[in-house]
Structure 1
Amino acid sequence: MKIAVIGTGYVGLVSGTCFSEFGHEVICVDKDVKKIENLKKGIVPIFEPGLDTMVVRNAEAGRLDFTTDLAEAMDGAAAVFIAVGTPSRRGDGHADLSYVMAAVDEIAALIKSYTVVVTKSTVPVGTGREIKARLSAKLSTDMFDVASNPEFLREGAAIEDFMRPDRVVCGVENERAQGVLKELYRPLFLNETPVIFTSRETAEVVKYAANAFLATKISFINEMADLCERVGADVQEVAKGIGLDKRIGSKFLHAGPGYGGSCFPKDTRALVRSADDAGVDLKIVRAVVDVNEERKRAMAAKVIGGCGGSVAGKKIAVLGLTFKPNTDDMRESPSLDILPALQKAGAEIHAFDPKGMEEAKHLLPGVHFANDPYETMIGADALVIVTEWNQFRALDLGRVKDLMKSPVMIDLRNIYGRADLASHGFHYTGIGR
């Protein structure tokens, strides 16, 4: 089956490439000429483990191509996926649907035979209905259907999530559209992956509800960490104690500096705004958003406390800048709140991240970027771990201590233990411990 994918950002590129791995003919479309030229050469614009190899393999097999010409991509396509950005709209937190609707208008002018228009982008409930109305103003309704097929991709594990997902959710109106999506996901049916068909509105809510629930777990355990610090408990043991309850589960119960990335922040804000429009006050989700914003701001104070109450004139070594490991994504990373606050307090920041520094250079002016983790530590008054990359988990602590001016570690991800650091002569500050 031939499909077109509009947008070669994270969701569009991963989804299109994985569909081609299923054996479908896929053409990914983007207006960025340079990006398309690079993709045709096998140069992938994002870091996602295994994606570059998969892109090259499927392109060489003739199943995956890239173009700036939507008409070329849609010619003979059974489905067109909209996978453009839906960032938070400035000022009110609503999802900005301008890119989605611009794509819809272009699609409307190019549909020549029955086509399923599928939203892969995360969109508020009711967007599918709006897209249908927009297309209906220009086309006969027997020429198209509109479906919702939300993505559930974790950055750093996106290929595994697409190829072996927990579930696939498809919001459709009729059996005709359902048949197209069934064929697209046929390899997963053979693997007995749960493929759930719902109404469009239900599918749209499922995506937001899933992200809001996971964000809630993060904010919850971060609040428990604050309590643990005050009463002498250990949040990691608390997380284990509740996570072994199968009704709760252990995932997303890792205390830290707050969530970031391309999904949780904007999706929780957009869900609150959509609910407001519907006359529903989502008190829990609203609190999750507030707790997370406060959390990120509070981390600079935690670092300053770990440094004895002041960082003025001190050199601070920072390991990790991206919002999570195994990605180069800096969007709404806690580092973007923490590092500027430390600079404002008088600190000199030297930082290293395995994949995020190119983007960070544009976002964190005044930060000195090192070539490796140990370079950041030379003469440092404190070491701060912001992102839990694997290569930071087994640092040579003897070497670290020798390089630093003062043996102080503030571990915002709890990847080390107090006893281990104490045995090496470090003053250690963790989260919720």
Structure 2
Amino acid sequence: MKTDRSAQLFTQAKTYIPGGVNSPVRACRSVGCDPLFVHKASGCMITDVDGNEFIDFVGSWGPMILGHAHPEVVEAIQAAAVQGTSFGAPSPLEVELASMVCKAVPSMDKIRFVNSGTEATMSAIRLARGYTGRKVVVKFDGCYHGHADSFLVKAGSGVITLGIPGSPGVPEDIVKNTLSIPYNNEEILEQTLRDTNLDIACVIVEPVAGNMGVVVPNLGFLRKLRELTRELGIILIFDEVITGFRLALGGAQERFGIMPDLTCLGKIIGGGLPVGAYGGKRELMELIAPDGPVYQAGTLSGNPLAMAAGLAMLRVVQRPGFYAELEAKSDWFGAEMEKLAAAAPVPISVNRIGSLMTCFFTRGPVTDFTSAMTADAALYGQYFRHMLAGGIWLAPSQFEASFVSAAHERSHLQKALDMTESSFKKLMV
């Protein structure tokens, strides 16, 4: 596989960009290679600057549920762009998208658009503190909620991929108001939330963890979390940046039938463009300025390009049979992956739900951060390199998810299975 142009670009990028990348996992250090630079993408295919083609299972880290450059999304963006790319004022598109999202997400009465998932989560935390008058945020080990200071305690995604325990530059005064406890552990959850010495404003959780690899929740854990927070007057925030409009039209909360107080959404609601949102119960959302005293703002919030792309994407996923078809092909693919993992010469545990999946290179089961961290990242690196050489584009980290999109056809999935079988056979401890 020729990579000369990517190598040249990476050398040039390192002169001007820290690590040569604008998001740390993309540096590919944990999988033992340098990044490839992308020239274009269409459907489930990505083409790099050297002309190599790959079947994509990253999907821009989740939002490309329709695949890349879906014609209806592209057409919507083009039509919006000729009218202007940013107004710094309200537009009809944001009203239409807000209505559509609120109707789809079961717990959401009102919504505020922002520019990223990180902005959504940090704004939701501020709102929860403003509503309760309390300070402490409870999160879960290995869950990632963006790079705001409060969330970099035992975080997932690039933080664990790079082996960073937290981050310099985060004041102790901020960290002391964040507690991180084990995911899927009901006993510690109850002990923590019932501790009268704590001043807990909210609990934020990925209802399906996706940033330490895919870790499916014990439903008893999520139900206990909802019961306790409701009883104790603690705001429950679902971070559905990954699961929103992915596991169902109404996200994980629809799939599990568990309603949070606030929900955070990410770039999937902008068809992959930079956007985020948080929303929830009317009594909470009406505390946000200008209706209330909790301030949050952003010039590009609700920008017309993201709104237009989001509307186009949501219209497609609401067509009859969309989620049933996506679920069926994902179930078939996941079941075949499990068979291959069982026959592999090294221990591999497959975690999956809907169109999300992670192959952990460990005996499993993987149910929390501690068990996820038993995975052999070096073995994953071998697997990643074999798959890349065979034309399969995976996340350059053991601790991320793979995504199936509507654009993946049976032939694409079968090629990935064939390459996986070949790659597994070559693995060596």
Structure number, greater radius of gyration: 1
Q: Same fold (TM over 0.5)?
A: no
Q: Which of structures 1 and 2 has the larger relative contact order (alpha carbons within 8 angstroms, sep 6+)? A: 2
TM-score, structure 2 normalization? 0.34
TM-score, structure 1 normalization? 0.34
